[in-house]
């Protein structure tokens, strides 16, 4: 059609801002993520009480001016615990994704560029790993490593690795066939230069977008493991574990499991909306035109 | 590659996966801190008993020998004995499996029945209000902790309104239908047992809604993006230029092609369904595999956990095999070249 | 005159955009009489496709703003029609075929059902069986062999040419009064194009159907159309009978466009390129939009010229204040053509590059044991010399192996058998380090300049990259060299800090050329590097390449599917077919008096400006054999009209008296003096 400049590869920043404004959900996501990050950093200033401070006389109190989200079965302030809980959840989410992405991207890029038997072997292993039902395997791994937050994180991260391996390998393979990489080969660029100069910078954006999308999922999975007792342990203020305890008080003290769960939901929505928006913006097929 | 060839390849792959899982579970069982014999014998058992169990389990033999023993047991369907129930793990799982299957099928149906049309509508109304609402619904689905949603539903429909039960598969006052398939819905219909059927449906609603809603997000998201991609294709333009009606273009030309990639993605998301099932079953005391494994975790019952892992992985791979077949049935190009 | 089938009145439309609307059409007026075949010609950005799409209102509704005008199809205004009326019109009153046949059919529905669906959508009373009979008839009419198989096939089982015929059959299925064809043969090979065009014209004439034919190719217009409209920047600037418009053009743009064609100039002479790039309506040029590129522009051109009958004929209309002047001076709009550098290439000196019996096979698929299921035979025993200082053209259709050949020459694609010697050194027998050094002597300019330029690097970084890699120059020297290269290819120094996406296709091609020349190579491979460009820009690039060749003593391997460009630009030419060289010799000899039957049919299929009825197609079998299972004997024998029992053995390249080589046992029987081109 009419041939004005169509950008598929290069980022058109004016266009990016325009597209962000076109996506109200992404802005909502960004705001949520920003709030959660602030909460995490400023938790001691925001929380009215120490998250572990007991007040046995005031146990299972309903939400009030003193205790916005009520208190739990040993009189701890649920609001303060939810605030502090952001530290655990976000750390876990980021930790899982960083670990999985870095490991996966390196293996994937190596596999794709190495090619041949090495590539085949790595990819077979990854195919097998991808066929593991990941949550079930996370349960197995986490229970074997012993119930702790670090172990839960490790278990989730290990099982996310194959996704990044695939993604990075796919990127490496398709970029290797681009004519600008071939052109670089023709004037004698070394392999290392081609990888660092041409492949890595162009392969990174889709991998980062995927990572962004994964943070929400990682937070959810970690809280689920905590909920069934394989993650954070008492007295840590972890949202999933709080819901698990609160479950026993559901019918009479609804606030106890509700607010920590709401925190998980909100945070996950925030990261997912933000990630979705990023994908929409950086997806070359959505661009152009 | 022929069709039969493809199936052969997938089956071979299945073996590979089960082998991989068994390797992992074996390694895991050997990573467990503490002595499994002690766990089996119990806290107050005399030393001799512990040592006897230790020997009986072959734990004094070289690791490789133990592994081969483990594998050969697996191949004979021996997944070990549960510490908690003292029964063979396979027996336990066979008892609990139908309940999980029933829940998963109903939830999957809910998510597809609602997810596909909603995804299509979102795509057709891209960037309109409907699409934004649809997007919000699907992101919420993906972001909701299943265990928490289950609790909320129990609070309202059982605690506040008192119209639906909160736990189990069937009222304790009603006898389960005679075992045919193990699926109460089917069995009660076969038996013509109307009260049992009604009770089963009542018990299914909340857990299936919980699980279905989580999965709904995945389905909607996939269908929407696949539809958007297909609607941009040249053949849709041809169809429009030929004067075909919008309904025909959307349902016959676009959706047909959008379903092909979606089948794979939704199949892969079956793993999420299993994940959701573990949590949902716990919340609703649903006597399925998920509930079984959580109870086993609490009891540090490793044979049961590992047995469950192997069975769940096998089921997962089998489901994906079926998905591949479905994919091939839908896509003429795959059918021809395989 | 009869009432027109299509009448477009002062149509203006724009695409809303965050920067405030891009105009695409400005007051477009045209009409098509019953049974008339009308061409709409223009370069990219002219608005020809937008016009075509708007006739059936196929542009995305939310993203198109029809500012003004009417589109009357059989007196019904498309722009005010409701969706139901529009649907009944599409396919039944007016139907459309598009450029890309590959994706234009639904991949998961059988061909038969797709055609029947269209029939039954518009004619509700037709039964399934009746519709099937009609679908079959249509395919027979489109000269589809093996109708039964095609009816049952899925699109991926058919070749591009066959798919386009199915699409034409679909477009004809409800006997519409108007067919809109948007570059329907641009994506096809030239021999297939000739068949499809011939078929289209014949069937349309038989039915008295009107056709609106959109194309960038003036030669196709001359072969096909009764009348032609020329578009530039969203406006119609000239209109008249095809013969008038193409042989006595009035608008300076039409004249310049015709003169920038390689066919218009003597071989190895400079082309009369139009400066700058084609404008679009979105550029919002006030007055005549061709003004910035026009040699005749004066102050009066800042007023918009109306499309008005010329002094010569009321039927021939032109929108130009100065057109009457151009007739007087009889067209010397551009400067007189000069000879390019004298043909280089001493046949007796040792060749710069020598390919000896090169074959390349790619494995396809895997069996259980990981062995390849079959092979694609991309190159089959190619032997070629490239002489120092010459331009060797490689011409052939898709699947002939010309791109693989370029990869082999560049050392990017290892050969299966045979050897490639550069200056006497085997490029596949070198160590990595030596190959790296050797490679600096030969460079490539790829077909797709956008893809070959890393989007994240500035132009300066791009051009200097080979120099940085070679690491022999200081930063200052590199900067100097880059400036010098930029100047040679016609880039301004301030453009060096920009990024590839900020340039037009022609300019990106210049950047790629500058980079290829950075290391001062001996040999430059030019792989289809003008095929994505507009004709006027192609002429600029060809002229530039000729200058650079002379200034820098370059040898070119010039690969193209475009016979006219190769005939114009190359000294010698090799014609390829199914991975073989079938004819090799002086470009003028081979491409004006072809000897090999394949070269003859290739040339006969090329649309020509002068002939109105030259769509001959001397091929027996339309489908190209698969390069997975090569034919036995002569590869061309199944399609050759001259084939006989002598052709069942594999043919060798044999020398003829005039020095060319031909791979055909029959060649002796043809008279080389005969002008086959006009046959």
B302, pLDDT greater than 90: no
Q: Which residue has the tokens 């696949």?
A: B226
B85-94 tens-digit pLDDT = 889 999 999 9
Taking the C-alpha atoms of residue B53 and residue B49, their distance in angstroms, rounded to an integer, is 6
Taking the C-alpha atoms of residue C221 and residue C181, their distance in angstroms, rounded to an integer, is 12
Question: A16, A183, A199: best mutation site toward chain C, by most C Cβ within 10 Å?
Answer: A183
Chains that touch B (3 or more CB pairs under 8 A): A, C
| pLDDT class of C218 with cuts at 50, 70, 90 | very high
Provide the shortest C-alpha distance from residue A129 to chain C (in Å): 22
| pLDDT class of B36 with cuts at 50, 70, 90 | low
How many Cα neighbours within 13 Å face the side chain of C620?
A: 11
Residue C456, burial from CB neighbour count under 10 angstroms (0-12, 13-18, 19+): middle
List the one residue out of B29, B39, B291, B301 whose CA is nearest residue A228. B291
Whether residues A268 and B317 touch (CB distance < 8 A) is answered with no
Q: What is the pLDDT of residue C678?
A: 36
Whether residues C106 and B244 touch (CB distance < 8 A) is answered with no
Q: What is the pLDDT of residue C674?
A: 42
Q: What is the pLDDT of residue B304?
A: 87
Q: What is the pLDDT of residue A9?
A: 43
Neighbours of C475 (CB within 10 A): 10
What is the complex's ipTM, to 2 decimals?
0.86
A286, pLDDT greater than 80: no
CB C568 within 8 A of CB C561: no
| Chain A with chain C: Cβ pairs closer than 8 A | 97
Residues of A in contact with C450 (CB under 8 A): 9
C1-23 tens-digit pLDDT = 568 999 999 999 999 877 778 89
Q: What is the pLDDT of residue A1?
A: 33
Long-range contacts of C648-652 (CB under 8 A, 24+ apart): none
Whether residues C107 and B257 touch (CB distance < 8 A) is answered with yes
Whether residues C107 and B332 touch (CB distance < 8 A) is answered with yes
Whether residues B242 and C90 touch (CB distance < 8 A) is answered with yes
Mean pLDDT for chain C?
87
pTM of the entire predicted model:
0.85
Which of A136-150, C95-109, C211-225, C275-289 comes out lowest in average pLDDT? A136-150
Question: A131, A230, A252: best mutation site toward chain B, by most B Cβ within 10 Å?
Answer: A131
C340 or A254, which is more confident: A254
Which of A83-97, A189-203, B50-64, C590-604 comes out lowest in average pLDDT? B50-64
Whether residues B237 and C104 touch (CB distance < 8 A) is answered with yes
A239, pLDDT greater than 70: yes
Q: Region B80-106: what's the mean pLDDT?
A: 90
Residues of C in contact with B241 (CB under 8 A): 56, 58, 90-91, 95-96, 98
Residues of B in contact with A258 (CB under 8 A): 148, 151-152, 155
B165-221 tens-digit pLDDT = 989 999 988 888 988 888 999 999 999 899 999 999 999 999 999 999 988 998 999
Whether residues C91 and B242 touch (CB distance < 8 A) is answered with yes
Answer positive or negative: Cα dihedral of C444, C446, C451, C455: positive
Taking the C-alpha atoms of residue B295 and residue B282, their distance in angstroms, rounded to an integer, is 9
Taking the C-alpha atoms of residue B25 and residue B39, their distance in angstroms, rounded to an integer, is 18
Residue % of chain B over a pLDDT of 90: 40
List the one residue out of C220, C244, C223, C38 whose CA is nearest residue C611. C223
Nearest CA in chain A to B309: A136
Q: What is the pLDDT of residue C77?
A: 94
| pLDDT class of C549 with cuts at 50, 70, 90 | very high
Provide the shortest C-alpha distance from residue B140 to chain A (in Å): 6
Q: What is the pLDDT of residue B271?
A: 63
Residues of A in contact with C532 (CB under 8 A): none
Question: C76, C94, C106, C110: best mutation site toward chain B, by most B Cβ within 10 Å?
Answer: C106
| pLDDT class of C511 with cuts at 50, 70, 90 | very high
Contact status of B241 with chain C (Cβ, < 8 Å): yes
| pLDDT class of A284 with cuts at 50, 70, 90 | low
Residues of B in contact with A132 (CB under 8 A): 17, 20-21, 24, 313, 316
How many Cα neighbours within 13 Å face the side chain of B305?
A: 26
Whether residues B305 and A143 touch (CB distance < 8 A) is answered with yes
Token digits of residue B83: 């510490």
Provide the shortest C-alpha distance from residue C233 to chain A (in Å): 10
Nearest CA in chain C to B246: C87
Contact status of B131 with chain C (Cβ, < 8 Å): no
Residue % of chain C over a pLDDT of 70: 92
User: 3-class SS at C63?
Assistant: helix
Provide the shortest C-alpha distance from residue A194 to chain B (in Å): 32
Residues of A in contact with B139 (CB under 8 A): 25, 269, 272-273, 276
| pLDDT class of B39 with cuts at 50, 70, 90 | low
Q: What is the pLDDT of residue C450?
A: 73
Per-residue burial over B174-195, b if 16 or more Cβ lie within 10 Å, else e, is: eebbeeeebbbbbbbbeeebee
Whether residues B305 and A140 touch (CB distance < 8 A) is answered with yes
> What value, to the nearest 5°, has the Cα angle with vertex B40 and ends B38 and B45?
55
Taking the C-alpha atoms of residue B296 and residue C466, their distance in angstroms, rounded to an integer, is 64
> What value, to the nearest 5°, has the Cα angle with vertex A285 and ends A284 and A286?
90
Taking the C-alpha atoms of residue B116 and residue C598, their distance in angstroms, rounded to an integer, is 53
Closest residue to B28, CB basis, from A22, A141, A258 = A141
Taking the C-alpha atoms of residue C534 and residue C506, their distance in angstroms, rounded to an integer, is 8
Residue % of chain A over a pLDDT of 70: 92
Mean pLDDT for chain A?
85
What's the distance, CA B142 to chain centroid? 16
C378, pLDDT greater than 70: yes
Provide the shortest C-alpha distance from residue A52 to chain C (in Å): 51
Q: Which residue has the tokens 């034409």?
A: C168
Contact status of B326 with chain C (Cβ, < 8 Å): no
Contact status of B245 with chain C (Cβ, < 8 Å): yes
| Chain B with chain C: Cβ pairs closer than 8 A | 81
Taking the C-alpha atoms of residue C1 and residue C34, their distance in angstroms, rounded to an integer, is 10
CB A246 within 8 A of CB A254: no
Q: What is the pLDDT of residue C615?
A: 52
| pLDDT class of C337 with cuts at 50, 70, 90 | low
C118-148 tens-digit pLDDT = 999 999 999 999 999 999 999 999 988 889 9
| DSSP tag of A198 | I
Taking the C-alpha atoms of residue C21 and residue C34, their distance in angstroms, rounded to an integer, is 35
Contact status of B244 with chain C (Cβ, < 8 Å): yes
Q: Region B144-166: what's the mean pLDDT?
A: 93
Residues of C in contact with A12 (CB under 8 A): 501
Closest residue to A4, CB basis, from C49, C280, C452 = C280
CB B273 within 8 A of CB B319: no
Q: In terms of residues, how long is chain C?
A: 679
C585-639 tens-digit pLDDT = 999 889 988 989 999 889 988 888 875 555 555 677 767 888 888 888 889 888 8
Which residues from C are below 8 Å from B when comparing CB atoms? 56, 58, 83, 87-92, 95-96, 98, 100, 102-109, 117-118, 121-122, 154, 156-157, 167, 170-171, 365, 368
Residues of A in contact with B152 (CB under 8 A): 258, 261
Taking the C-alpha atoms of residue B193 and residue A222, their distance in angstroms, rounded to an integer, is 42
CB C194 within 8 A of CB C607: yes
User: 3-class SS at C10?
Assistant: strand
Whether residues C365 and B233 touch (CB distance < 8 A) is answered with no
Residues of A in contact with B283 (CB under 8 A): 247
Q: Which residue has the tokens 């959900």?
A: A25
Token digits of residue A260: 């920590």
Token digits of residue A137: 């395997």
Nearest CA in chain A to B30: A144
Token digits of residue A19: 């597209």
Q: What is the pLDDT of residue C420?
A: 94
Taking the C-alpha atoms of residue C361 and residue C540, their distance in angstroms, rounded to an integer, is 37
Nearest CA in chain B to C89: B243
Nearest CA in chain C to B127: C62
Cβ-based neighbours of A100, under 8 Å, separated by 6 or more: A156, A157, A158, A160, A161, A163, A164, A214
Residues of C in contact with A180 (CB under 8 A): 451-454
Contact status of A177 with chain C (Cβ, < 8 Å): no
């Amino acid at each position: 059609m009419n041939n004005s400049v169509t950008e598929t590869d290069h980022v058109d920043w004016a266009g990016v801002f325009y597209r962000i404004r076109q996506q109200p959900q992404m802005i909502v996501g960004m705001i949520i993520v920003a709030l959660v990050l602030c909460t995490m950093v400023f938790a001691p200033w925001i929380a009215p009480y120490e998250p572990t401070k007991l007040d046995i006389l005031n146990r299972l109190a309903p939400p009030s001016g003193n205790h916005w989200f009520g208190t739990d079965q040993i009189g701890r302030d649920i609001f303060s615990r939810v605030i502090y809980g952001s530290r655990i959840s976000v750390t876990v989410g980021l930790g899982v994704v960083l670990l999985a992405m870095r490991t996966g991207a390196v293996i994937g890029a190596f596999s794709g560029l190495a090619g041949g038997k090495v590539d085949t072997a790595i990819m077979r292993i990854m195919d097998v790993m991808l066929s593991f039902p990941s949550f079930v395997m996370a349960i197995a791994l986490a229970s074997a490593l012993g119930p702790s937050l670090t172990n839960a994180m490790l278990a989730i991260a290990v099982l996310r690795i194959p996704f990044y391996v695939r993604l990075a390998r796919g990127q490496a393979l398709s970029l290797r066939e681009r004519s600008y990489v071939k052109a670089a080969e023709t004037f004698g660029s070394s392999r290392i230069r081609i990888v660092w100069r041409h492949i890595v910078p162009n392969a990174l954006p889709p991998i980062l977008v995927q990572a962004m999308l994964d943070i929400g999922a990682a937070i959810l999975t970690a809280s689920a493991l905590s909920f069934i007792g394989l993650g954070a342990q008492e007295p840590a203020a972890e949202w999933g574990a709080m819901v698990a305890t609160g479950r026993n008080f559901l019918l009479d003290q609804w606030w106890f499991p509700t607010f920590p769960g709401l925190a998980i939901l909100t945070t996950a929505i925030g990261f997912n909306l933000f990630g979705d928006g990023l994908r929409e913006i950086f997806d070359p097929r959505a661009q152009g035109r | 590659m022929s069709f039969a060839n493809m199936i052969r390849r997938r089956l071979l792959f299945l073996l590979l996966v089960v082998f991989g899982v068994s390797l992992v579970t074996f390694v895991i069982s050997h990573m467990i801190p503490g002595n499994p014999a002690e766990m089996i014998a119990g806290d107050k058992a005399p030393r001799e008993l512990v040592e006897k169990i230790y020997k009986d389990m072959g734990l004094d033999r070289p690791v490789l020998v133990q592994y081969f023993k483990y594998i050969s047991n697996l191949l004979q369907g021996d997944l070990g004995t549960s510490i908690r129930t003292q029964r063979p793990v396979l027996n336990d799982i066979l008892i609990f499996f139908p309940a999980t299957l029933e829940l998963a099928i109903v939830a999957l149906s809910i998510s597809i029945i609602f997810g596909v049309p909603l995804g299509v509508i979102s795509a057709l109304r891209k960037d309109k209000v409907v699409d934004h609402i649809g997007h919000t619904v699907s992101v919420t689905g993906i972001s909701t902790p299943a265990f928490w949603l289950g609790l909320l539903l129990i609070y309202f429909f059982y605690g506040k309104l008192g119209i639906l039960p909160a736990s189990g598969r069937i009222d304790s006052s009603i006898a389960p239908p005679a075992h045919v398939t193990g699926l109460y819905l089917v069995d009660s219909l076969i038996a013509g047992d109307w009260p049992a059927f009604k009770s089963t449906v009542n018990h299914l609603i909340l857990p299936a809604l919980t699980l279905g809603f989580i999965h709904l997000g995945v389905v909607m998201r996939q269908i929407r993006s696949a539809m958007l991609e297909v609607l941009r294709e040249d053949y849709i333009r041809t169809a429009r230029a030929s004067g075909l009606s919008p309904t025909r273009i959307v349902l016959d030309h676009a959706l047909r092609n959008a379903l092909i990639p979606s089948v794979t993605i939704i199949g892969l998301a079956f793993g999420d369904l299993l994940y959701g099932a573990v949590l949902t079953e716990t919340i609703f005391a649903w006597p399925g595999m998920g509930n079984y494994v959580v109870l086993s975790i609490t009891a540090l019952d490793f044979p049961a956990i590992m047995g469950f892992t192997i069975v769940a992985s096998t089921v997962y791979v089998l489901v994906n095999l079926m998905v591949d077949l479905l994919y091939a049935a839908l896509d003429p190009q795959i059918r021809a070249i395989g | 005159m009869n009432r027109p089938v299509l009448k477009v009145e002062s149509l203006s439309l724009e695409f809303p955009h965050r920067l405030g609307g891009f105009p695409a059409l400005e007051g477009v007026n045209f009409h098509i009489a019953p049974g008339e075949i009308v061409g709409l010609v223009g370069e990219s950005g002219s608005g020809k496709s937008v016009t075509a799409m708007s006739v059936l209102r196929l542009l995305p509704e939310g993203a198109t703003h029809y500012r003004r005008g009417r589109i009357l199809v059989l007196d019904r205004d498309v722009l005010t029609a409701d969706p139901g009326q529009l649907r009944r019109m599409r396919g039944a009153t007016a139907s459309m075929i598009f450029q890309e046949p590959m994706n234009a059919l639904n991949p998961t529905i059988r061909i038969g059902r797709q055609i029947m669906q269209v029939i039954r959508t518009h004619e509700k009373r037709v039964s399934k069986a009746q519709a099937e009979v009609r679908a079959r008839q249509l395919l027979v009419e489109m000269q589809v062999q093996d109708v039964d198989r095609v009816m049952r096939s899925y699109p991926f089982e058919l070749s591009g040419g066959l798919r386009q015929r199915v699409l034409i059959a679909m477009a004809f299925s409800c006997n519409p009064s108007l067919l809109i064809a948007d570059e329907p043969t641009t994506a096809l090979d030239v021999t297939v194009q000739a068949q499809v065009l011939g078929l289209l014209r014949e069937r349309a004439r038989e039915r008295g159907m009107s056709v609106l034919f959109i194309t960038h190719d003036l030669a196709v217009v001359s072969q096909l159309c009764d009348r032609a409209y020329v578009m530039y920047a969203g406006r119609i600037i000239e209109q008249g009978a095809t013969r008038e418009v193409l042989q006595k053009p009035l608008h300076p743009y039409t004249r310049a466009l015709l003169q920038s064609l390689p066919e218009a100039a003597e071989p190895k002479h400079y082309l009369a390129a139009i400066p700058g790039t084609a404008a679009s309506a979105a550029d919002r040029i006030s007055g005549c939009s061709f003004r910035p590129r026009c040699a005749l522009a004066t102050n009066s051109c800042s007023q918009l010229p109306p499309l008005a009958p010329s002094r010569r004929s009321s039927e021939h209309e032109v929108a130009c204040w100065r057109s009457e002047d151009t007739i007087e001076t009889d067209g010397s709009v551009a400067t007189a053509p000069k000879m390019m550098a004298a043909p280089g290439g001493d046949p007796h000196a040792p060749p710069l590059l020598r390919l000896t019996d090169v074959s390349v096979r790619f494995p396809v698929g895997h069996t259980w044991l990981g062995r390849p299921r079959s092979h694609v035979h991309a190159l089959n025993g190619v032997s070629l010399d490239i002489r120092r200082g010459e331009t060797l053209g490689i011409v052939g259709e898709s699947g002939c192996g010309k791109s693989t050949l370029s990869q082999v020459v560049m050392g990017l694609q290892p050969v299966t058998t045979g050897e490639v010697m550069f200056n006497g050194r085997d490029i596949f027998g070198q160590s990595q380090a030596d190959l790296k050094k050797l490679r600096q002597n030969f460079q490539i300019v790829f077909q797709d300049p956008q893809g070959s330029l890393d989007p994240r690097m500035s132009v300066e970084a791009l051009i200097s990259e080979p120099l940085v890699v070679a690491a022999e120059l200081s930063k200052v020297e590199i900067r100097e060299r880059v400036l010098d290269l930029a100047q040679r290819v016609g880039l301004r120094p301030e453009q060096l800090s920009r990024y590839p996406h900020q340039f037009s296709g022609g300019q990106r091609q210049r950047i790629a050329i500058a980079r290829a020349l950075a290391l001062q190579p001996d040999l430059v491979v030019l792989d289809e590097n003008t095929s994505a460009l507009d004709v006027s820009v192609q002429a600029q690039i060809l002229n530039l390449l000729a200058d650079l060749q002379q200034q820098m003593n370059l040898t070119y391997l010039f690969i193209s599917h475009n016979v006219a460009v190769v005939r114009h630009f190359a000294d010698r030419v090799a014609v390829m077919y199914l991975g073989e060289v079938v004819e090799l010799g002086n470009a003028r000899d081979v491409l004006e008096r072809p000897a090999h039957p394949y070269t003859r049919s290739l040339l006969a299929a090329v649309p020509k400006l002068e002939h109105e009825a030259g769509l001959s197609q001397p091929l027996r079998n339309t489908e190209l054999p698969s390069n997975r299972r090569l034919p036995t004997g002569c590869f061309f024998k199944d399609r050759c009209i001259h084939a006989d029992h002598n052709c069942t053995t594999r043919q060798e390249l044999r020398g003829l008296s005039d020095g060319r080589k031909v791979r055909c046992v029959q060649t002796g029987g043809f008279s080389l003096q005969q002008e086959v081109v006009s046959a």
